[in-house]
């Protein structure tokens, strides 16, 4: 057991260098003033104060949350019927369909987004709509696969039993299939909402220069403005939002299970 | 009793395979009916058609005077207890049972009243809030029954509901189910492959085989008067022998005549004769209607189960020549090789049935390299001709290590037993002490070495050689010749008795005409 534990040292080292260290640095940057020497830190909360008092930043945050939320909702609305349809196909066709769904995921996201830019150029749409379409397109497969997995592993005999007990197709869906696929929906939400709220490539390419989400904001502060401290503070705010929403969905999942 | 369900000529096939071949069956109100048969006989399919989960290809189901072919399952007044229970994992015990009532949108107070009544019917009071996935098999079973019965169906379908339970629990649930059925007073249609379950619980048993109904009757009728050998074998322990009607009421089997009640059989008709093991009494050897030798004794708790051989099988005795033979070693390659002289039946040669590979195995030819690993014999050369005589055969390895042995081509005598239609043949053989000592299954090896075979004289189909008799001790056999006797199964009757007997005892068997049940030959046998 001891020697087995020793085998994990390289991974612990890897995690320390590439995960823990950057996070500590972000924490450090977020709470300090710019222009520090390596030895003297001037701790401050002004970055957070700036962020939350500036209406522009607040609008960006609100837009990010709203578009991520809408993307998630639409992914569920489109994904659920699709997943249900696939789960009702014969086994071999199911594998085929899942393969077809995952196929676009093998292609670089940048490339797909550029393709969408080309397509959407021909339409006179608001930036937000374009970004929204790109996001739904990109994240939909994650939702479908999660929901499909939870429906496919459900015992089909349960639906027979529901019908036997007087439930028509709709009732057996709402009383059996739907509640039993909630864990799939929850993990689908996690897989869609989190990347959507922090995405920056899609808004950048599809939204044009005037459409800024929180991911773009971070990018601007790190790469263009060179203000690592403020960028870190925004990242930290994002991280907190993500952690809170993950905690909330977990909680929701658990209460759904107990029902 | 009023007729409640009527199956009319139900035909169903899956992927071109016919599962139900035109089933006709009536089921009355308040009956406990069991559909009994081996897996694949169509019993579950019939149940699913009644439940509405499958649609028949042909035929009609009448329920309470109405054709229900087009009625969807959720509108049928039938509920089902599924094989694997199919309880809803996201609901607790209470909600599972309340499921059907909630669909009907009954008031909470009525639901709670009905659910609680069901909980006490199946002895699960206090389990309302339990998670169904954490219940034991027996408890899940009870929930499944309560969930079905709470809807007050006219018919409850049970699809092998006790299959997943252990023996003790199964017995308990059998009594429980019977009690529940009597208490609620509705029709139970129960599917099982377990004959004991069927006998214990049913008012009526429907024995099915390969998509057809063989017999319908009460447990007593099915047990005492099975309609054919298939039903007799399926229900209870049985001895079934072939007999012939000499006159309308004289039955002849195993060279003995029995006067039986007139069963409207034609003189000369070949029939199956059933004698239940518990109907045969063991008596002193001179008193019974038959006598025989006890071949095996198995203790079954309340009784012993004896196999008594009343007629020996057809046998053939051959000589086994035990020789001392030393392995030939090839000093160039460090290989060793060995083989025995052997006998060959001229008929087999003429039919061209023997390949070089057969010669290798009959001669028990083997070769080893310097590390004692087996190596294959790739070359077989011989001067065998298709007439009796003595020839030579040479086995060799790739590296030319070789051995030459004698082959005796002979014309052996077959034993042909015309009365029982059995032929048997075996050949003398040579073998070394080592080979006998190394044998892990001596009877099987003796059969191989002697090329022992038995067959049906009429259609040449193979017949098992069940008995190999020899009087040497394989562990300490010495050079010399030994008699080996190969025999087919004779007539063995299974007897249940409470008195003790040893293998080899000679006993008399006694049974009367009332213990003999004569059946027409089944048209189809599986």
The answer, yes or no, to whether residue B336 has pLDDT greater than 80, is yes
Neighboring chain A residues of B80 at a CB cutoff of 8 Å: 160-161, 164
Confidence of residue B289 (pLDDT cuts 50, 70, 90): confident
Taking CB atoms and an 8 Å limit, are B79 and A162 in contact across chains?
A: no
Cβ B291 vs Cβ B495: under 8 Å: no
Q: Tell me the C-alpha distance between B182 and B176, whole Å.
A: 10
Q: How buried is B260 (Cβ within 10 angstroms: 0-12 exposed, 13-18 middle, 19+ buried)?
A: buried
Beta bridge partners of B187: B155
pTM (2 decimals)? 0.76
Instruction: Give domain status of residue A203, yes or no.
Output: yes
Top-confidence residue, A4 or B188: B188
How many domains, chain A?
1
Confidence of residue A258 (pLDDT cuts 50, 70, 90): low
Can you tell me the mean pLDDT for B481-507?
89
Which ranges constitute the DSSP H helices of B309-364? 346-350, 356-362
Instruction: Give domain status of residue A53, yes or no.
Output: yes
Question: Measured between CA atoms, how close is B163 to chain A, in angstroms?
Answer: 17
Write the CB contacts of A109 (distance below 8 Å, at least 6 apart in sequence).
A138, A201
HSE value, Cβ hemisphere, 13 Å, CA-based, for B366: 12
Q: The domain B3-232 belongs to what CATH superfamily?
A: P-loop containing nucleotide triphosphate hydrolases (3.40.50.300)
Residue A109's nearest CA partner among A202, A209, A191 is: A202
The answer, yes or no, to whether residue B100 has pLDDT greater than 90, is yes
Cβ B295 vs Cβ B480: under 8 Å: no
Inter-axis angle of helices A46-53 and A228-258, nearest 10? 70
Question: Measured between CA atoms, how close is A187 to chain B, in angstroms?
Answer: 18
Q: Tell me the C-alpha distance between B389 and A97, whole Å.
A: 72
Q: Which of B208-217, B261-270, B449-458 shows the highest mean pLDDT?
A: B208-217
The number of beta carbons lying within 10 Å of the beta carbon of residue B82 is 21
| DSSP 8-state symbol, B413 | P
Instruction: Give domain status of residue A61, yes or no.
Output: yes
Can you tell me the mean pLDDT for A238-257?
81
Neighboring chain B residues of A176 at a CB cutoff of 8 Å: 88
Can you tell me the mean pLDDT for A1-17?
82
- The predicted-structure confidence for B63-89, as pLDDT tens digits, reads as follows 999 999 999 999 999 999 998 899 999
Neighboring chain B residues of A155 at a CB cutoff of 8 Å: 84, 86
Q: Which of A217-231, B195-209, B506-520 shows the highest mean pLDDT?
A: B195-209
- Which pLDDT value is given to residue B286? 86
Rounded to the nearest 10°, the torsion over CA B186, B192, B194, B197 is -10
Task: Determine what percent of chain B is predicted with pLDDT higher than 90.
Answer: 40
The residue of A165, A175, A179 whose CB has the most chain B CBs within 10 angstroms, and thus the best one to mutate to test that interface, is: A165
- Which pLDDT value is given to residue B159? 92
- Which pLDDT value is given to residue A176? 94
Domain residues for the domain of A61 are 46-258
- Which pLDDT value is given to residue A37? 59
Domain harbouring A220, CATH code: 1.10.3720.10
Strand order in the sheet with B389-396: B342-345, B402-410, B389-396, B379-382
The number of beta carbons lying within 10 Å of the beta carbon of residue A250 is 12
Instruction: Give buried/exposed letters for A122-150 (b at 16+ CB in 10 A, else e).
Output: eeeeebbebbbbbbbbbbbbbbbbbbbbb
Q: Tell me the C-alpha distance between A232 and A222, whole Å.
A: 8
End-to-end CA distance of chain A: 41
The pair of three-digit structure tokens given for residue A160, joined into one six-digit string = 């027979």
Write the CB contacts of A11 (distance below 8 Å, at least 6 apart in sequence).
none
- The predicted-structure confidence for B409-445, as pLDDT tens digits, reads as follows 988 888 888 777 888 989 899 888 888 888 888 989 8
Q: Three-state SS across B226-294? A: CCCHHHHHHCCCCEEEEEEEEECCEEEECCEEEECCCCCCCCCCEEEEEECHHHCEEECCCCCCEEEEE
- The predicted-structure confidence for B146-164, as pLDDT tens digits, reads as follows 999 999 999 999 999 888 7
Neighboring chain B residues of A158 at a CB cutoff of 8 Å: 86, 88-89
Which ranges constitute the DSSP H helices of B365-441? 433-438
- Which pLDDT value is given to residue B525? 45
Strand order in the sheet with B335-338: B328-330, B335-338, B366-368, B374-375
Can you tell me the mean pLDDT for B322-332?
78
The answer, yes or no, to whether residue B477 has pLDDT greater than 80, is yes
- Which pLDDT value is given to residue A2? 64
- The predicted-structure confidence for B296-324, as pLDDT tens digits, reads as follows 899 988 899 999 988 878 889 999 999 88
Window from A159-168, B177-186, B254-263, B359-368 with minimum mean pLDDT? B254-263
Q: Tell me the C-alpha distance between B87 and B161, whole Å.
A: 13
Taking CB atoms and an 8 Å limit, are A164 and B90 in contact across chains?
A: no
- Average pLDDT of chain B to the nearest whole number: 88
Q: Tell me the C-alpha distance between A64 and A103, whole Å.
A: 28
Confidence of residue B27 (pLDDT cuts 50, 70, 90): very high
Beta strand pairing status for B187-192 and B155-159?
parallel
- Average pLDDT of chain A to the nearest whole number: 88
B130–chain A Cβ distance below 8 A for any pair: no
Instruction: Give domain status of residue A66, yes or no.
Output: yes
Question: Measured between CA atoms, how close is B106 to chain A, in angstroms?
Answer: 13
The answer, yes or no, to whether residue B526 has pLDDT greater than 60, is no
Can you tell me the mean pLDDT for B23-35?
93
Q: Tell me the C-alpha distance between B192 and B206, whole Å.
A: 10
Residue B160's nearest CA partner among B213, B86, B215, B219 is: B86
- The predicted-structure confidence for A45-93, as pLDDT tens digits, reads as follows 888 888 888 898 899 999 999 999 999 999 999 999 999 999 999 989 9
Inter-axis angle of helices B167-184 and B108-121, nearest 10? 130
Fold of B315-488: Immunoglobulin-like (2.60.40)
The residue of A150, A158, A161 whose CB has the most chain B CBs within 10 angstroms, and thus the best one to mutate to test that interface, is: A161
The number of beta carbons lying within 10 Å of the beta carbon of residue B387 is 11
- Which pLDDT value is given to residue A158? 95
Q: Which residue has the tokens 């059995």?
A: B422
> Quick check: helix, strand or coil at residue A234?
helix
Which stretch of DSSP H or E encloses residue A28?
Answer: helix A21-30
The number of beta carbons lying within 10 Å of the beta carbon of residue B175 is 11
Cβ B440 vs Cβ B469: under 8 Å: no
HSE value, Cβ hemisphere, 13 Å, CA-based, for A179: 17
Q: Tell me the C-alpha distance between B21 and B5, whole Å.
A: 19
Domain layout of chain B by residue ranges: 3-232, 237-312+510-520, 315-488
Q: Which ipTM score applies to this complex? A: 0.79
Instruction: Give domain status of residue A24, yes or no.
Output: no
Taking CB atoms and an 8 Å limit, are B148 and A165 in contact across chains?
A: yes
DSSP one-letter string for B65-123: TEE-TTS-GGGSSEEEE-TT----TTSBHHHHHHHHHHHTT--HHHHHHHHHHHHHHTT
Q: Tell me the C-alpha distance between B360 and B393, whole Å.
A: 10
Strand order in the sheet with B315-323: B429-432, B315-323, B480-488, B465-470
Instruction: Give domain status of residue A206, yes or no.
Output: yes
Instruction: Give domain status of residue A22, yes or no.
Output: no
Residues 53-92 of B with CB under 8 A from A: 53, 72-75, 78-80, 82, 84, 86-90
Neighboring chain A residues of B53 at a CB cutoff of 8 Å: 160, 163-164
Q: How buried is A118 (Cβ within 10 angstroms: 0-12 exposed, 13-18 middle, 19+ buried)?
A: exposed
Write the CB contacts of B470 (distance below 8 Å, at least 6 apart in sequence).
B320, B442, B446, B482, B483, B484, B485
Instruction: Give domain status of residue A161, yes or no.
Output: yes
- Which pLDDT value is given to residue A69? 93
Neighboring chain B residues of A166 at a CB cutoff of 8 Å: 74-75, 100, 103-104, 151
Size of interface A-B (CB pairs under 8 A): 64
| DSSP 8-state symbol, B124 | -
The pair of three-digit structure tokens given for residue A111, joined into one six-digit string = 């490339």
């Amino acid at each position: 057991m001891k020697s087995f534990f020793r085998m994990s040292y390289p991974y612990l080292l890897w995690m320390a260098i590439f995960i823990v260290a950057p996070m500590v640095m972000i924490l450090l940057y977020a709470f300090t003033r710019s222009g520090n020497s390596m030895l003297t830190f001037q701790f401050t909360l002004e970055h957070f104060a700036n962020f939350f008092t500036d209406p522009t930043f607040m609008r960006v945050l609100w837009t990010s949350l709203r578009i991520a939320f809408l993307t998630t909702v639409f992914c569920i609305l489109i994904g659920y019927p699709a997943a249900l349809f696939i789960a009702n196909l014969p086994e071999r066709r199911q594998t085929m369909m899942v393969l077809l769904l995952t196929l676009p995921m093998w292609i670089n996201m940048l490339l797909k987004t550029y393709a969408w830019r080309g397509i959407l150029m021909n339409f006179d749409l608001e930036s937000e709509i374009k970004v929204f379409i790109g996001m739904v397109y990109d994240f939909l497969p994650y939702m479908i696969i999660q929901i499909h997995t939870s429906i496919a592993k459900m015992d089909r005999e349960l639906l027979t039993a529901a019908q036997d007990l007087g439930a028509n197709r709709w009732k057996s869906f709402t009383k059996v299939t739907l509640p039993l696929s909630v864990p799939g929906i929850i993990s689908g939400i996690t897989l869609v909402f989190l990347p959507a709220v922090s995405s920056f490539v899609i808004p950048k390419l599809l939204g044009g220069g005037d459409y800024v989400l929180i991911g773009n904001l971070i990018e601007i502060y790190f790469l263009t403005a060179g203000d690592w401290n403020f960028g870190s503070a925004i990242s930290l705010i994002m991280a907190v939002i993500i952690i809170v929403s993950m905690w909330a969905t977990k909680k929701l999942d658990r209460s759904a299970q107990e029902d | 009793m009023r007729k409640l369900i009527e199956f009319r000529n139900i035909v169903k096939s899956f992927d071109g395979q016919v599962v139900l071949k035109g089933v006709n069956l009536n089921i009355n109100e308040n009956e406990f009916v069991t559909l009994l048969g081996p897996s694949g006989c169509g019993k579950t399919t019939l149940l699913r058609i009644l439940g509405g989960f499958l649609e028949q290809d042909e035929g009609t189901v009448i329920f309470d005077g109405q054709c229900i072919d087009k009625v969807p399952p959720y509108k049928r007044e039938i509920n089902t207890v599924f094989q694997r229970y199919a309880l809803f994992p996201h609901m607790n015990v209470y909600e599972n049972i309340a499921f059907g009532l909630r669909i009907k949108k009954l008031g909470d107070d009525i639901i709670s009243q009905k659910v609680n009544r069901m909980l006490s019917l199946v002895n699960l009071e206090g389990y309302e809030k339990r998670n169904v996935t954490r219940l034991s098999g027996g408890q899940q079973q009870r929930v499944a029954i309560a969930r079905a019965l709470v809807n007050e169906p006219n018919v409850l379908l049970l699809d092998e509901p006790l299959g997943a339970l252990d023996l003790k629990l199964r017995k308990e649930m059998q009594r429980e189910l019977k009690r529940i059925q009597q208490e609620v007073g509705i029709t139970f249609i129960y599917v099982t492959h377990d004959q004991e379950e069927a006998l214990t619980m049913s008012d009526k048993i429907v024995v099915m085989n390969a998509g057809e109904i063989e017999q319908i009757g009460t447990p007593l009728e099915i047990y005492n008067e099975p309609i054919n050998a298939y039903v007799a074998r399926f229900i209870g322990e049985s001895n079934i022998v072939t007999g012939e009607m000499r006159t309308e009421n004289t039955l002849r089997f195993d060279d003995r005549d029995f006067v039986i009640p007139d069963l409207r059989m034609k003189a000369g008709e070949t029939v199956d004769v059933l004698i239940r093991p518990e109907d045969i009494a063991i008596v002193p050897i001179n008193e019974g209607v038959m006598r025989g030798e006890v071949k095996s004794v198995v203790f079954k708790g309340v009784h012993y189960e004896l196999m008594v051989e009343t007629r020996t099988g057809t046998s053939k005795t051959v000589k086994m020549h035990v020789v001392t033979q030393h392995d030939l070693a090839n000093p160039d390659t460090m290989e060793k090789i060995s083989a025995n002289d052997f006998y060959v039946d001229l008929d087999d040669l003429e039919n061209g049935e023997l390949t070089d590979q057969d010669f290798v195995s009959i001669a028990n030819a083997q070769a080893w390299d310097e590390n004692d690993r087996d190596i294959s014999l790739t070359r077989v050369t011989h001067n065998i001709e298709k007439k009796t005589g003595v020839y030579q055969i040479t086995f060799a390895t790739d590296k030319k290590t070789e051995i030459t042995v004698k082959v005796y081509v002979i014309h052996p005598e077959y034993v042909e037993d015309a009365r029982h239609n059995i032929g048997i043949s075996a050949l003398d053989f040579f073998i070394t002490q080592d080979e006998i000592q190394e044998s892990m299954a001596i009877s099987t090896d003796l059969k191989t070495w002697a090329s022992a075979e038995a067959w049906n004289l009429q259609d040449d189909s193979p017949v098992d050689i069940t008995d190999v008799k020899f009087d040497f001790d394989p562990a300490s056999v010495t050079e010399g010749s030994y008699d080996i006797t190969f025999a087919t199964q004779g007539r063995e009757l299974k007897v249940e008795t409470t008195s003790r007997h040893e293998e080899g005892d000679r006993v008399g068997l006694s049974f009367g005409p009332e213990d003999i049940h004569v059946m027409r030959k089944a048209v189809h046998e599986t």
